[in-house]
Structure 1
Amino acid sequence: MLLKLTGSSCSGKTTLAYAAAVRIGKIAVHDFDELGVPEGADRHWRHRMTEMWVRRALEYQDRGIDLLLSGQSPLGEVLAAPSAPLLDGIAVCLLDVDDPVRRARLVERDAGRWDSQAVHAFLGWAEWHRKHAVDPSHRRDVIIDHSWPEMVWRRWTDWNAGDPRWRTHLLDTTDRPVPESVDLVERWIIEQRGALQAGRLPLRHGWAS
């Protein structure tokens, strides 16, 4: 299955993914951007890369291995990736932090790199993630307009906030020690695997039909 840790920058996605994965068997961990981010990367690039990672997850799936992927693609983009219905299961967790913490982390991690407009964009993207996680109708244009033509948005654009398939687990890492957050990510992975095995995972094979 594909286990996706999503969210805006500086929420701890990559750190927590690698730390949790070492505790768990039969799981591969990758960062969405590990192959490099081209100059002027846009939605087209992110959507194409989402499909590439879904295909990588399918390769792991054939070997009996799950993929834990950290990156900024939200649930709606994962579900619209052309090959997504071929996965045995999909689970998404939104890692989030309060805006002041994210702002401080951006400054600490990339001192002098981002101007106020760029920081504001990161915070706006985080706010959009929060609302998208609970409501599929929220500002769909943010990811759909001018998107990669191969994306299949119709799979979920008629869903409402009460649809059991529209499920993103929220983990707020604000003021949490890293070991505690790692424990929670590990627990989430174990729970999603258990739900898949028991036939209770909402986004198990067949969800798109």
Structure 2
Amino acid sequence: MPGRKTMLLLVSGASGVGKTTARLHVRHLFERRGLDGTFETAELFTLGPVPDVPTVAWRQEQAEVAVRRAIALDAEGRHLLFAGDPVPLGEVLAAPSADRVEVAACLLDVDEQTHLARLAQRGEPEELVPFHRGFAEWMRAHATDPGHMPEVVTTDGWSQMRWERWVGREPGPEWAMTVLDTSRLSPEQVGAAIVDWCLRAVAGQAPVFRAGWFDR
């Protein structure tokens, strides 16, 4: 692998887009291809105790834990894949220590028909479906526009977050992430696409937020 700075690779998306299932295939592919020594994987529930009622502030504190873990991996020359949870890019970039690590993000997305079908298949309560759809739409807009309704994540957020790094910014080339449409892909295909994205990101062939990008 290229001798680049350790990176935090975020894979996110709304509920029902295939994050959890794909993550299992990613781990299998890492092991099969001998990449488990290059990439460590983490999720919210593996980073520390999970409260009975998780809050936005708790999720954002855990994003900081993930960032610090990525920084610690620098000594080992490894990267951290933070995947399987609906953690938006803006929360990772606003984590207090995120100015010390490079961040790449991949948003898993689906079309409306597929999303509704998947939510129904998993037995999601009907009254929660509009919430999941709305969050998917917000994350899709957030992928290209940091100024789109930042209050979705800043309201009731963790007091230590550094929102000034991106809140109020206009869309521009410095704000970029990879979007993967999983609507017509099998879990195995999504897993393979994520592994490919990880390799491209650490090689500098996919959008990356370099350490301290917001000061440039």
Deviation for aligned residue 1:154: 0.5
Conservation of the 8 A alpha-carbon contact between 1:17 and 1:68: no
Conservation of the 8 A alpha-carbon contact between 2:8 and 2:104: yes
Name the residue aligned to 1:11. 17
Conservation of the 8 A alpha-carbon contact between 1:5 and 1:17: no
Q: Could you tell me which of 79, 82, 96 is aligned with 1:66?
A: 79
Q: How many residues align?
A: 201
Change (3 A) 1:60 1:104: same
Taking the aligned partners of 2:119 and 2:10, their CA distance within structure 1 comes to: 22
Name the residue aligned to 2:3. none
Name the residue aligned to 1:190. 199
Aligned residues with identical type, % of pairs: 36
Name the residue aligned to 1:102. 115
Change (3 A) 1:73 1:190: same
Query: C-alpha deviations, 1:94-142, integer Å up to 9, x for none?
Result: 0011233233323333x3xx42221211111111100111111100111
Conservation of the 8 A alpha-carbon contact between 1:86 and 1:205: yes
Within a 5 Å distance, the mapping from 1:39-188 to structure 2 comes to 39-70=52-83, 71-87=85-101, 89-109=102-122, 111=123, 114-162=124-172, 164-188=173-197
**Which deviates the most, 33-42 or 179-188?**
33-42
Taking the aligned partners of 2:140 and 2:193, their CA distance within structure 1 comes to: 19
Query: C-alpha deviations, 1:26-76, integer Å up to 9, x for none?
Result: 101122234564233221111111111111222222221101111211111
1:102 is paired with a residue whose SS is: helix
Change (3 A) 1:94 1:43: same
Aligned-partner residue type, residue 103 of structure 1: L
Conservation of the 8 A alpha-carbon contact between 2:8 and 2:67: yes
Structure 2, unmatched stretches of 5+, are 1-6
**Which deviates the most, 139-148 or 20-29?**
20-29
Taking the aligned partners of 1:27 and 1:52, their CA distance within structure 2 comes to: 17
Conservation of the 8 A alpha-carbon contact between 2:12 and 2:108: yes
**Which deviates the most, 126-135 or 18-27?**
18-27
Taking the aligned partners of 2:119 and 2:23, their CA distance within structure 1 comes to: 19
Q: CA RMSD in A?
A: 2.0
Taking the aligned partners of 2:181 and 2:129, their CA distance within structure 1 comes to: 19
Aligned-partner residue type, residue 185 of structure 1: I
